[in-house]
Amino acid sequence: MRHTNNFNLLRLAAALMVIISHSFGVLDKGNEQPMFWICNRQIIGSSLGVFIFFAISGYLVMQSLQRVSTNWQYLRNRALRIFPALIVCNILCVVLLGLFFGSLPFTAYLLRTDTWSYLWYNTALYHNQFYLPGVFNNLKPANDINASIWTLTPEVLLYILLLILSLLKLFKSTVVAAISFVLFMVCCSLLHDQSYNGWPLDYYISFSMFFFQGAALYLFRKYISFRWYWVLPGALLIYFIPDAWVKWMLFTLLVSYVVIYIGNTRQLVSLKGYDVSYGLYIYAYPVQQILLITIGSAINPWLQSFLTVLCTLPFAFVSWIFIERPALSLKKNNFSF
């Protein structure tokens, strides 16, 4: 199934959306990006790309949860997908950026505790540290090393939450699962404008909505008709609904529906089994910052996007061939502690 659908292609498209959006952002032209105007200045391309990632993730991770024989296998599979490539990316950022783009002597740089806290925090996904000491000092925002990987924290938290809900037997009954999903959507509507420790919960709630909508579309796939003719009425309904939050919830449902529909259609383009989307996602932002330092901010955002993809693809292919694909092959092994 993996190479006969369009999920890899959709993830690649989502990664490119994030890269293009970030190219406009790092050049301080975020309000000029096309998606911002296409969506009536309500959403930027990087957000939509990440939402697509989460919808696909919810669908495929629910599928994985339903198929594995033990909870350990589920957790192992999720860890193998996220952490091996992330660890290597973080190590390369610490070493190469500190060595070639740092203002501190390399020995002094290595002795700084915040050098190693970057590696630990961003690998454990316990806390996001966006800076490395003395690296990218003259950029805006200063020291911003990798603005993409913070979304991996809610991703992993949603993996765990999905397992907890499964342990509570909420997915055994279709009725119970449907009621749980509706209650979840209601909770999202109540919490969307809240904050925690000064951090707005909007993005976390939006990620959760797309993730669980994807999961629900897999769980209820026997009862849902995936047809294109539902899209236009859905879009018109969203356009004419006056309430902003109801409009947003319907928008997330429509996007998730369209993404999963396209994902399950006959393969449009064969990627020959190469899934470089994750590598593009985690390596692109440091590359964009390097381009900003070496070329300057006068570059056209579209040229910046092209050069970013061109420079990041080798990292993405190496990551897939030598790290991600071998790690994912371990899923077939039934080793245990």
Task: Give the per-residue pLDDT at 245.
Answer: 78
User: Is it the case that residue 137 has pLDDT exceeding 50?
Assistant: yes
Cα distance between residue 62 and residue 60, in whole Å: 5
Q: SS3 sequence, 188-226? A: HHHHCCCEECCEECHHHHHHHHHHHHHHHHHHCCCCCCC
User: Is it the case that residue 337 has pLDDT exceeding 70?
Assistant: no
Cα distance between residue 116 and residue 110, in whole Å: 8
Within 8 A by CB and 6+ apart from 254, the residues are 231, 234, 235, 238
Position 3 confidence tier, pLDDT thresholds 50, 70, 90: low
Position 200 confidence tier, pLDDT thresholds 50, 70, 90: low
Cα distance between residue 11 and residue 6, in whole Å: 9
Position 211 confidence tier, pLDDT thresholds 50, 70, 90: very high
User: Is it the case that residue 165 has pLDDT exceeding 50?
Assistant: yes
Give start and end residues of each alpha helix (H) in the chain: 7-26, 34-38, 45-67, 71-92, 98-100, 106-111, 113-124, 152-167, 174-191, 202-219, 231-240, 244-264, 277-295, 301-319, 325-329
Instruction: Report residue 314 as tokens.
Output: 């080798």
In tens, the pLDDT along 26-43 reads 999 988 998 888 777 778
58-82: b (≥16 Cβ within 10 Å) or e: bbbbbbbbeeeeeeebbebbbebbb
- What is the sign, positive or negative, of the torsion defined by CA atoms of 157, 160, 161, 162? positive
**How many other CB atoms are there within 10 angstroms of residue 115's CB atom?**
20
Contact assessment for residue 9 and residue 269, using Cβ atoms and an 8 Å cutoff: yes
**Average pLDDT, integer, range 131-146:** 85
Residues above pLDDT 90, as percent of the chain? 69
Exposed/middle/buried for residue 165 (C-beta within 10 Å: 0-12, 13-18, 19+):
middle
Distances (CA, A) of 179 to 136, 169, 173, 184, 186: 49, 13, 10, 9, 11
User: Is it the case that residue 331 has pLDDT exceeding 90?
Assistant: no
Instruction: Report residue 64 as tokens.
Output: 């994985």
User: Is it the case that residue 143 has pLDDT exceeding 80?
Assistant: no
In tens, the pLDDT along 274-293 reads 999 999 999 999 999 999 99
**Average pLDDT, integer, range 211-237:** 91
Task: Give the per-residue pLDDT at 190.
Answer: 74
Position 181 confidence tier, pLDDT thresholds 50, 70, 90: very high
pTM: 0.94
**Average pLDDT, integer, range 162-190:** 90
User: Is it the case that residue 335 has pLDDT exceeding 50?
Assistant: no
Please, what is the Cα angle at 127 between 82 and 21, to 5 degrees? 65
Task: Give the per-residue pLDDT at 35.
Answer: 83
Peptide bond into 141 cis (omega under 30): yes
Domain ranges of the chain: 7-332
Task: Give the per-residue pLDDT at 318.
Answer: 98
**Average pLDDT, integer, range 174-191:** 86
Task: Give the per-residue pLDDT at 334.
Answer: 58
Cα distance between residue 229 and residue 326, in whole Å: 41
In tens, the pLDDT along 72-122 reads 999 999 999 999 999 999 999 999 999 999 999 999 999 999 999 999 999
Cα distance between residue 104 and residue 98, in whole Å: 8
- Mean pLDDT: which of 136-145, 153-162, 268-277 is highest? 153-162
Short-list 287, 214, 219, CA closest to 257? 214
Instruction: Report residue 275 as tokens.
Output: 């899934």
**Average pLDDT, integer, range 130-137:** 93
